[in-house]
Amino acid sequence: MKQKFETRAIHAGCEPDSGTGAIMTPIFQTSTYVQESPGKHKGYDYSRTHNPTRTALEKNIASLEEGKYGLAFSSGMSAITAITHMLSAGDHIICSDDVYGGTFRLFDKVLKKFNLEFDFIDLTSLQSLERHIKNTTKLVWLESPSNPLLKLIDIEATARIAKNRGIVTVVDNTFATPFFQKPLKLGADIVMHSTTKYLNGHSDVIGGALVMNDQELYNKLQFLQNAAGGVPGPFDCFLVLRGIKTLAIRMERHAENALKIAQFLENHPKVRRVIYPGLSSHPQHELAKRQMTGFGGIVTFFIKGGLEAARKFLERVKVFSLAESLGGVESLIEHPAIMTHASLPKEVREKIGISDELIRVSVGIENVDDLIDDLKNALA
C-alpha cells in the first residue's frame, strides 16, 4: 500500500543508520571513500559524484514529486544551469514571460551569448505557445504559479503540445511545492525546485533539485551534475531533509494564512488589486482548483500611490521582514521591481505588469492576526 505524502516526507529515502541505529540520516562529511580494490567500492568513490546524505535527499524529493529519479544541486540556479547544458548552439527555448528574475538573467544575459535563442511569452495562452514553436525548439520552461504575478499555466495542456513536437517541458514547482501540485503527473518531463524555499522552509540553506521519470533524461542530467559540479554539501542536504519532514503541516498553515491575508488586502481601500490563486477574483482560479490541491503561501498586491507609497509601507512593517527570498516559516515582504526582479529591463517589467506599486508577500506560519495587524498598521 502506497504511503501518504506526510509519511513519505518523513521517511522516504531515510533509513536508520546501519552502523549505529541513528534515526536521522548522518551528515557524511567526507570527500572520498576507501575502495577494497581499484574500482571496487560500496557505491561511493568521490563526494562530487555521490554522497550518502545527498542520496537520501534525492530519493526523498523524488518520492514527494512521485518521480523515479531525483538530483540535488547547490542552488536552484545550478539546477537550471544543468538543464540548459543539455542544449546545443542554435536551440530555441520558450519561457513564460513572468519568471524569477534569476532565471531571466541566466537565460537573457548569460546563455544568449552561446547562441541559444529564447522567446519570453505569455504561456497562459496555448495559442501563443503554438505560434512560437519552431523546428529548433527544444525546451518549454514555465512557472505555475509564476513569480511574482502568480499566473497559472495549464501544465497538462502545455506538456501535451510540447510532447507532440518532441519538446521537453520543465516546470519550476517552487511556489506550489509537491504538496499542492505534481507536474510530472500532469505530463511535465522535469520538475525543478529551489529547495532554498519551501522544501527547506527555514531560510538557512541554499539548494536546488530536479525530478524526472525518464531514465535517459536522468542519465544526461546526472552526468552534468557530476561534470559541472554544482552539488550541495552534505550538511546542506541534511538541513533540507530536516525541513522537508514538516513540509505538509507548514504548507497547510502557509496557505491558510495567505488566504486570510489576501481577503484582508482585497477589502482594504489603499490596495488597488490582489493576486492570489485561492481568490475567486484570480483570472485562473478554476485552473488552480483543477491542477492544485492548495493555493500556496505567496500573495501579490498593488498598493495605491506609486513607488513612494510602496516604499513607506515597506519601511513600516514590523512582523514582516523586508527581504528577498520566500518560503521560510517567517513572513517576508519585498518590492520585485527594485529587489528580486531588478535584473529585468524596465520595459520588460512594465510590459508584463511588474510595476512600482507591486508588492510580493511570502506569508509565514505566525499567528495570522498578528500578520494582519502588522499590514493594517503599515498601511495606515
Residue pLDDT, tens place only, 46-97: 999 999 999 999 999 999 999 999 999 999 999 999 999 999 999 999 999 9
Catalytic: 108? Answer: no
Q: Is 245 a catalytic residue?
A: no
* 342 vs 146 pLDDT, higher one: 146
Q: What is the mean pLDDT of residues 152-156?
A: 98
Kindly name the residue from 197, 250, 253, 349 that is annotated as catalytic. 197
> Dihedrals φ, ψ of 168, to 5°?
-80, 135
Indicate whether 335 pLDDT > 90: yes
For residue 365, pLDDT beyond 90: yes
Catalytic pick among 98, 172, 356, 374: 172
Nearest to 142 by CA among 179, 93, 105: 93
- For residue 357, what pLDDT is reported? 96
Residue 256, pLDDT > 90, answer yes
The pLDDT score that the predictor gives to residue 2 is 87
Residue 280: is its pLDDT beyond 90? Answer: yes
Question: Which of 69, 100, 198, 218 is the catalytic position?
Answer: 100
Catalytic residue among 33, 48, 185, 260: 48
Q: In sequence order, what are the residues at sequence separation of 6 or more whose Cβ sits closer than 8 angstroms to the Cβ of residue 197?
A: 174, 175, 325, 326, 327, 328
Tell me the pLDDT of the chain averaged across its residues. 96
The whole-number pLDDT of residue 213 equals 98
pLDDT tens, 162-187? Answer: 999 999 999 999 999 999 999 999 99
Nine-digit cell string for 256: 491558510
| 97 labelled catalytic | no
Amino acid at 206: I
Query: In this structure, are residues 202 and 70 in contact, taking their beta carbons and an 8 Å threshold?
Result: no
Average pLDDT over residues 23-52: 94
* Residue where the block lists cell 519538446: 167
Q: What is the pLDDT of residue 345?
A: 87
Q: What domains, with CATH codes, occur in the chain?
A: 5-244 (3.40.640.10), 248-379 (3.90.1150.10)
pLDDT of residue 63: 98
- To the query of whether residue 68 is one of the catalytic residues in this protein, the response is no
